[in-house]
């Protein structure tokens, strides 16, 4: 006897056969073949049920990586594993400041490792922004070093948590998608990063000889980033 699920899928294949999706004379797969092809298994169902149970047991109802922004987390439930999230806006709207704030919240408040790939700004510039936000001192003062005694004391006290924060910044310019994937795999293996942030996609390259226009390259990079998110089972956020 066959399971109801098998009967349903068999009916679907029969209809697709009639519509010309399947080749005439091609045998309808066995139930085991169907389970493999359609990724239907008891283990998958149990995993889905476990995720639902975890969501139910969470006090804050966040099943993904929290951003630290309450209203945003209420809408998203946290950034989900294997998701590719695109944050897009015009230049100068605060995209980099936004992901830096998220990285700070995730690393300091939730103690989860974060990887940031910055193709536009240097690591020192990003860290200076983090220090400014954490200490409450303006970036202009930090760049000039014109701090009063009490501000130096404030700076030393406030940045102490940042020294131990699991934030890993890579500022390699013109990073290719292949280099990025290799680095992310190493970071996942060594530090078990929970999320990847990339600033920004237009500055990335495919790493191969250009055989199409830039739009096709961006499409290839986007597909590769989605594959990376699924491979590492973590959310990937890209700015555009």
Catalytic residues: 120
Q: What SS3 state is found at 28? A: coil
Distance (Å, whole) CA 231 – CA 99: 22
What secondary structure does DSSP assign to 65-111, as a single string?
Answer: B--S-HHHHHHHSSBPTT-EEEE---TTSSHHHHHHHHHHIIIIIS-
Lookup: tokens for 28: 């309808």
CA distance readout (Å), 38 to 12, 26, 27, 85: 12, 17, 16, 26
Backbone angles phi, psi at 42, to 5 degrees: -60, -35
Distance (Å, whole) CA 94 – CA 107: 20
Distance (Å, whole) CA 100 – CA 80: 19
Distance (Å, whole) CA 67 – CA 102: 5
């Amino acid at each position: 006897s066959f399971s109801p699920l098998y009967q349903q899928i068999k009916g679907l294949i029969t209809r697709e056969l009639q519509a010309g999706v399947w080749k005439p004379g091609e045998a309808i797969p066995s139930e085991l073949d169907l389970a493999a092809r359609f990724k239907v298994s008891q283990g998958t169902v149990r995993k889905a049920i476990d995720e639902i149970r975890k969501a139910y047991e969470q006090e804050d109802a966040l099943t993904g990586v929290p951003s630290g922004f309450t209203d945003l987390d209420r809408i998203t439930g946290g950034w989900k594993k294997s998701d590719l999230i695109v944050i897009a806006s015009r230049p100068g709207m605060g995209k980099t400041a936004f992901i830096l704030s998220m990285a700070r919240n995730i690393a300091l408040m939730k103690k989860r490792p974060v990887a940031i790939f910055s193709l536009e700004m240097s690591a020192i510039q990003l860290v200076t922004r983090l220090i400014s936000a954490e200490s409450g001192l303006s970036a202009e003062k930090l760049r000039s070093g014109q701090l009063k005694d009490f501000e130096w004391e404030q700076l030393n006290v406030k940045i102490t948590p940042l020294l131990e924060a699991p934030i890993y910044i890579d500022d390699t310019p013109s990073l290719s998608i292949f280099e990025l994937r290799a680095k992310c795999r190493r970071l996942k293996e060594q530090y078990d990063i929970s999320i990847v942030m990339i600033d920004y996609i237009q500055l990335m390259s495919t790493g191969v000889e250009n055989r199409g226009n830039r739009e096709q390259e961006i499409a290839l990079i986007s597909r590769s980033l989605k594959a990376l998110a699924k491979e590492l089972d973590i959310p990937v956020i890209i700015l555009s």
